Amino acid sequence: MTRAEIDKNDCLVIYEDQFSNYHLHPLWLRERVTDPEFLDSNNYQRLYEPSLITQNITIKNFSIEKEILKIKFSDGVEGSFLLNVLINELKQKDIIPDKKPWKNEFENLPIYDFKSLNEAKVFLDLLSDFQELGFVIVKNTSAEEGTVVKFAEMFGPVRTTNFGKHFDVVSKPQANDLAYTSLGIKAHTDNPYRKPMPGIQILHCISNEAKGGDSSLVDGYAVAEYLKINEPEMFEILTTTDVLFKFVDKDIILENYGKLIELDHNGKYLQSRFSGRLDYVPYLEPSQLEKFYSARKKLFHLYESEEFELNFRLDSGMLMMFDNIRVLHGRTEYDVNTGFRHLQGCYIDHDSTEGKLRRLKSNL
């Protein structure tokens, strides 16, 4: 059972168990009061400016009953708080699942039948798998052009870029990107030169009759975790060196800098960037540069290794949706003389999948 007391600084100390306690400032609690007078019950937004609450507010009294905390503040306001909600916020615990790193050892791939996605439970499972693994495959969609955008809009708005609302991955002359040739393309993240990078990519197969043209996915998170443990020096240089990524065509020049593996301020994995066709390594002292090149080479070989790279084939009517800042994708070369290959792709933001998953989980 949770217990609490007021400390010498007039903060409420909540003891979750013998190891965890939190010293909560009265103002921090006061601005979380959820009564309808203070919070709009439709949109959960505050109806007042919290910066204007008196800063020397204190707790006059409190009680805990059935895991509900009741507080009377010195400005006369009374509030009730669900302790589990409060503690989840203190722990920054998200309702949606954490990422699960994966290698090329799936017993069952996360393949969903498009015809079942109108069942709420199946849609929720797809979003949960996507959150954990960073990708899902969907079969039995239509083979019609434009399917990719319709599918994307089940989650949220499509991000239009200079390639348009969607792009056609088909071999064409004088292509402004190697994706639009029949060449094999090793595992990469799309568009690391954009600010911000496209969050999620969906690639829908209209036709894949050519010899070759198989797809691959690699979990950048799993590879980053592997390097962190097995090659700490390489991990260090890859997570601290800013690389320039650049796209050039006759209309536009796009540039952005970023690390090949980026961590957050707590040292936790945030994202991957990798595109050997587009990267410009910065000026570094030669000895540092040698270290960086060794680390990049190692990273490249891990991405193409049997241990990490998942290979499969997208047939007509199938699509894959993957987290473009985590899961790298690639394809094998194909022979345009053996059949037609046409994929359509588009981008959406993480807001769409994460936001929908949080909503659905909160409804449970």
> For binding to Fe ion (CB under 5 A), which residues are involved?
190
Q: Which is nearer to Fe ion, 291 or 331 (CB)?
A: 331
Nearest residue to Fe ion on Cβ basis: 190
Q: Which is nearer to Fe ion, 235 or 274 (CB)?
A: 274
Q: Which is nearer to Fe ion, 97 or 212 (CB)?
A: 212
**How far apart are the C-alpha atoms of 264 and 294, rounded to whole Å?**
24
- Rounded to a whole number of angstroms, the minimum distance from the CB of residue 259 to Fe ion is 20
**Considering just the CA atoms, what is the radius of gyration of the chain in Å?**
25
Q: Which residue type occupies 40?
A: D
- Rounded to a whole number of angstroms, the minimum distance from the CB of residue 335 to Fe ion is 20
| Number of alpha carbons in the 13 Å side-chain half-sphere of residue 204 | 23
* Host H or E run for residue 200: strand 200-208
* Cβ-based neighbour number of residue 262 at 10 Å: 17
Q: Which is nearer to Fe ion, 187 or 299 (CB)?
A: 187
**How far apart are the C-alpha atoms of 124 and 109, rounded to whole Å?**
17
In this structure, is the dihedral angle defined by the CA atoms of residues 228, 232, 233 and 236, taken in order, positive or negative?
positive
* Spatial CA neighbour of 159 closest among 190, 205, 126: 190
- Rounded to a whole number of angstroms, the minimum distance from the CB of residue 273 to Fe ion is 13
**How far apart are the C-alpha atoms of 237 and 235, rounded to whole Å?**
6
- Rounded to a whole number of angstroms, the minimum distance from the CB of residue 99 to Fe ion is 21
Query: Count H helices, E strands: the chain?
Result: 8, 24
As a 3-state breakdown, the chain gives helix, strand, coil percent values, each rounded to 5, of 25, 30, 45
- Rounded to a whole number of angstroms, the minimum distance from the CB of residue 190 to Fe ion is 4
Give the position of tokens 């895991």: 67
Give the position of tokens 């503040």: 73
Q: What angle do CA 127, 329, 146 make, to 5 degrees?
A: 65
> Tokens in use for 69?
């905390």
- Rounded to a whole number of angstroms, the minimum distance from the CB of residue 191 to Fe ion is 8
Phi-psi group of 317: left, alpha or beta (phi > 0 → left; psi -120 to 50 → alpha; rest → beta): left
- The β-bridge relationship of strands 111-113 and 135-139 is parallel
Q: Which is nearer to Fe ion, 204 or 291 (CB)?
A: 204
Q: Which is nearer to Fe ion, 190 or 323 (CB)?
A: 190
Q: Which is nearer to Fe ion, 79 or 213 (CB)?
A: 213
- Rounded to a whole number of angstroms, the minimum distance from the CB of residue 180 to Fe ion is 10
**Cis amide leading into 157 (omega within 30):** no
- Rounded to a whole number of angstroms, the minimum distance from the CB of residue 50 to Fe ion is 44
- Rounded to a whole number of angstroms, the minimum distance from the CB of residue 324 to Fe ion is 8
**How far apart are the C-alpha atoms of 96 and 93, rounded to whole Å?**
9
Q: Which is nearer to Fe ion, 190 or 354 (CB)?
A: 190
Q: Which is nearer to Fe ion, 110 or 330 (CB)?
A: 330
